[in-house]
Amino acid sequence: MILKGVAAFEDFVSLLTALHFRAGKKVLVLWDNLPTHHAVEAHFEEERADWFEFEYFPAYSPELNPVEGCWNCMKNVYLPNFVPASDEELTREVMAAAMRINEEKQLYACFQQAKISP
């Protein structure tokens, strides 16, 4: 699933439902305070309380969130000054940068910087 633009409530519900079935047990979801995240939490608490435990990063705490390190690497290392000609080109280049981050073990470093064990 590729989320275009701002991820919608339904996108997160679909993603977390797939995650639940893949994990086969209760999963801890740790994310920022996007209002949609809180709506999704309320949905699952009402519909499937035994599927997830939700926790949130403190307000503006990029040093605690490994995703922020990945975005920083993408923007400043792999895609500096990149101006896509289309949505498709943007998606292709972001996916390629994400794969490079993973292949070069930088993803692990982002978790280490946030003091989270992957």
In this structure, the answer to whether residues 52 and 91 fall within a common structural domain is no
Tens digit of each residue's pLDDT (9 = 90 or more) over 11-70 = 889 999 999 999 999 999 988 888 888 999 999 999 899 999 999 888 777 788 788 888
Measured CA distances, 49 to 40, 65, 74 (Å): 12, 25, 35
Residue 107 phi/psi, 5-degree rounding, is -60, -45
Q: Which domain holds residue 19?
A: 9-56
The DSSP code sequence of 7-50 is PPHHHHHHHHHHHHHHH-S-EEEEE---HHHHHHHHHHHHH-TT
User: How far is it, in rounded angstroms, from Cα 46 to Cα 42?
Assistant: 6
pTM above 0.75? no
How many separate domains does the chain show?
2
Of 35, 56, 77, the one marking the end of a domain is 56
Tens digit of each residue's pLDDT (9 = 90 or more) over 85-103 = 998 999 899 989 988 888 8
